Structure 1
Amino acid sequence: MFYYLTFGIILGLSAGFAPGPLLTLVISETLEHDIKAGVKVALAPIITDLPIIILTLYVFAQLSSFHKLLGTVSLIGGCFVLLMAYESIRTKGNTLNLQAAKSRSLSKGILANALSPHPYLFWLSVGAPTMAKALSLNIFAPLLFMSGFYTFLVGSKVLLAIFVGKSKTFLSGNIYRYTIRFLGLVLGILAFALFIDGLKLLGILTV
C-alpha cells in the first residue's frame, strides 16, 4: 500500500520542481512581491485539480472491465512519465522567462494551472489509472497516493518560493539541477513499472 504513497511523493516532487507556467508564477510573484505571494500561487493545484480528478475517476470507473483499453492507457502513462524523466535528466537549471509572467494573484495562478495541459495529461494517463488500481486494494491506497502527490507538489513549490525569496541564484545552482536529475532517474523506474502494468493488462506479459 505504501507503494502508492511513494509513487505519489516522487511524482509530486518531480512535477513541483519541473519548470512550467505555474512555477513561473510562483517565482515571479516571489520576486515582485514576497514569499507569501509565491506560496499563494503554489496552492493553485489544490483548487483546480479536483474537477479533473472527479471526471477522470468517473471515466475509469466506467471502463474498469476494458482491460485492453486500460492497458493502452497505462502504456501512454508510461510514455508520459518517461518524457518527464528525460526532461528532468536533461535539465541544466531553470531558465524561465519571468518577463512573460504577468499574473500577480492567486486567481491568476488558478487560471494558469487550469489552462495548462499538464494536469489533464497527468490525470488522464497516470493519475486516474493509478487511483483506480489503488482503489482495488483498499480505500486508503488512493488516499495515500493523492496525499503524497499533492503534499509534495505544493510543498516543493512552497520551498522554491522560500529559496528564491532568500537567494535569487538558487534556480541556477547545482542543488536544484542535481535534484531534478535524480528525480528523473527515479521517474524512469516508475515509467518502467507502468509499462509492465500495461503489458499485463494487454495480455502480452503474463509473468
Structure 2
Amino acid sequence: MVRRQQPDRTLYADDSRVYYSELPTPFGLIGVYWRDQQLIRVLLAPELPPKPWFAPVHAPKPQHKPAPSEDAMTQQARLSPRQLSLSRQPLPLTAEAPAWLRAELDAYFADPGYRFSCHIEPSGTVFQQRVWTLLAAIPPGNPLTYGALATLLGSSPRAIGNACRANPLPLRIPCHRVVAANGLGGFAGDRSGRLLAIKRWLLDHEAGLSPDHGAATPLSEQDRRP
C-alpha cells in the first residue's frame, strides 16, 4: 500500500531508483531520500506535512490491472510528455540508510564542527543556487542574519528567506545558520513549532565554535552576483 501523499517529482533527476530511510537523531527521527552515493532530500520532521511518500520494499504486485476509467484517461491525455514520463516513475522504496549516510550524520552529531561531504545536486533557480552556495560557506557556530546575506548577494532579506525555505537539504546545506536580526527568525516556514525547535537545537549544538572552525572556501565573485 502506497503511503501518504502525491509524489514530489523533483526527486527524479534521472532513471535511478530512489530510496527513503528514516534515522534517529538527538532531536527525533529525520527522513532522507537518497540514491547510490547521493543525498537527494532531507526531511527534518517527517511527521509534519508535506509527509514522505514511498512504496514498501515488499509491496505485493496486483494480480490484474483494472482498465482506466474515462476520467483517468481524460486526465492522462492532458499531461505533457514530460509529465506523463514522470507519472510513470516508480515510488521510492523504503530501505535501511546506507553506511556512508549514517557515518556523516554520526560525525556531525558527535562533532558540531564536522562538515558534510556527501554528494548532492540540488535543483533550484540560479538565485537559489547562489544562496545555497553561500549557506554552505557559513562556519558552524557563527550564524549570519538574513540581512547580511542579502547585502552579500545584492538582494533582500525576504528573498534570502524564501531561498532558505526552498532548501531541499537542511543539515547538508545549513540554512539553520541564518537568523533574524532580533531572534531566530523562521525555519522552513515554521515560526513557532517543531521545526523552529529543531533550528534552536542545531544552533545550540554548534554554539561556541570559533569563526574559523570548519570554514569553507570564500565565495567567488560569480556567486556574489545577484
What TM-score range do you get, normalising by the shorter chain?
under 0.3
More strand per residue: 2
Larger radius of gyration: 2
More helix per residue: 1
TM-score, reference length from structure 1: 0.27
TM-score, reference length from structure 2: 0.25
User: Comparing both chains, which one has the higher relative contact order based on Cα–Cα distances under 8 Å and sequence gaps of 6 or more?
Assistant: 1
